[in-house]
Amino acid sequence: MQIDFRQRPRVAVFRISVTLMLFPLMPSVVYYAVSKHVGWKHAENLQYLIPKVWATYLLRLLGVTIEIEGLEHVDKQFAGHRVLFYNHNSRLDLYALLAASPVAFKSFWSTRAHIMSERYSIILWISRIFDLFFVHDKTSDKRTVLELKKAREFVRRGNTLSLFPEGQFSIDGRVGAFGIACTELAVATNALVQPVRPGEPSREAS
């Protein structure tokens, strides 16, 4: 699957857009929380659909459009273990994947790259409510090992996990060497590995 970006916004614009998106998001967050607490069957679908819709409209509000190729290779009915390997070159990669993916998934977020560095707790709050990520804590190897164990069990239960196997941004868009932990997780869970490649943007905001 390939996702092509058409624009990337400044950090200030990103934060303003996220804040504006909170107003239409709040009723759905409350409804999801009630559904999950009561145990309604559709709560699992809401856990996937609400972040997908939110990410889609967030990108539109930011003036970002994406073009997707290769969705026919991502089987919605696949019930086995699956890992999405994403070539990482933008802060918006996770939001683009949320908007584009035809299947529910969880990600692995780095504390340095996605949690602490954003300095914007709303993103963390939304992501925790919908249980969107495991934590790669670059200040604690022990915590990261525990999170990797949780991620392996998550995949073994027949779920989809997205990873940035290079462990860092790709400056020129080329695929770099994969980290051992990511490849070991895929092998240990006997997962179907599907590549996701972001294309080159036609224009990048300064």
All structural domains of the chain with their residue ranges: 2-72+79-199
Taking the mean position of all CA atoms in its chain, how far away is CA 90?
12
* CB-count burial class (<10 Å; 0-12, 13-18, 19+) for 12: exposed
| The two three-digit tokens of residue 24, written as one number | 């239409």
Using a cut of 0.85, tell me whether the model's pTM lies above it. Answer: no
pLDDT number for residue 205: 35
Q: Could you tell me whether strands 2-5 and 66-69 are parallel, antiparallel, or unpaired per DSSP bridges?
A: antiparallel
| 7-17 mean pLDDT | 67
Q: Which residues contact 63 (CB under 8 A, 6 or more apart)?
A: 7, 9
48-63: per-residue pLDDT in tens? 999 999 889 888 888 8
131-190: per-residue pLDDT in tens? 999 987 777 888 889 999 999 999 999 999 999 887 666 666 666 677 788 889 999 999
Q: Which residues contact 85 (CB under 8 A, 6 or more apart)?
A: 163, 165, 178, 182, 186, 193, 194, 195, 196
Expressed in angstroms, the distance from the first to the final Cα of the chain is 27
Return the percentage of the chain with pLDDT > 70, whole number.
80
Nearest one of 126, 159, 103 to 33, comparing CA atoms: 126
pLDDT number for residue 154: 95
